[in-house]
Structure formats: structure tokens, C-alpha cells
């Protein structure tokens, strides 16, 4: 076995095929921080610190809770930040995580 090992909630949905709508599987964010996380959170390796598990799926905390992760962002700026962040992350475009996944074998 080669590659990177990431740990996700067992109830997380399976990763969709590239181009399919995001289903909150969390694979992309658990494998590496996105460019926005690298820029704003200064996170370079491992799972994104803004990856949030809620209601049986993963969400981007920079989108769902920007004030928590970006304490320097004035509350008035959040409505301006959110559409820019969604566009920058291409959240409405579809899955772009070109990785293969396989479940951990049971003992």
C-alpha cells in the first residue's frame, strides 16, 4: 500500500467522482489544506484545521464559521467574504479531488 492515509468519520459519504457535486465527504480537505486555508490560516500540511464535521458530512469552516477561524475579519466584511471564498474554492463547480480512496481494512 502506498500513498497518504487520512482518517474520516465512518459515517462520511463516499467520495464522489471528479466533476460530480460535492457531497461533504471531506477527502480533499483531509488530504491537504486548500489554497485559501494556506493563505488565510497559514496551514501547510495535513488536514485543514477548518474542516468541520456536522450532520453526517464535512463542511468548510471558512464558509460555515468564518468569524471563528478568521478572528481578524470584521463582522461587516463576512457577507463580502463568503461569495468570494465560495468562488475561490469553486464550491459550486463540483469535486476536483483527483485522488483514489479505499476504506481501511477491518481487523
User: What is the domain partition of the chain in residue ranges?
Assistant: 27-89
Burial class of residue 60, CB neighbours in 10 A (0-12, 13-18, 19+):
buried
pLDDT at 1 over 50: no
Mean pLDDT of 28-52: 91
Give the pLDDT of residue 56: 94
Res. 106: pLDDT tops 70: no
Q: What is the pTM of this model?
A: 0.84
Residue 75 has pLDDT above 90, yes or no: yes
Proportion of the chain above pLDDT 90, given as a percent: 61
Residue 69 confidence (pLDDT)? 95
Amino acid at each position: 500500500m502506498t500513498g497518504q492515509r487520512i482518517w474520516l468519520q465512518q459515517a462520511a459519504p463516499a467520495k464522489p467522482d471528479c466533476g460530480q457535486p460535492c457531497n461533504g465527504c471531506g477527502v480533499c480537505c483531509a488530504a491537504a489544506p486548500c489554497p485559501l486555508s494556506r493563505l488565510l490560516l497559514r496551514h501547510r500540511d495535513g488536514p485543514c484545521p477548518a474542516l468541520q464535521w456536522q450532520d453526517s458530512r464535512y463542511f468548510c469552516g471558512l464558509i460555515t464559521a468564518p468569524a471563528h477561524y478568521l478572528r481578524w475579519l470584521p463582522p461587516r466584511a463576512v457577507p463580502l467574504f463568503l461569495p468570494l471564498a465560495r468562488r475561490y474554492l469553486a464550491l459550486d463547480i463540483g469535486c476536483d479531488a483527483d485522488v483514489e480512496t479505499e476504506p481501511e481494512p477491518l481487523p
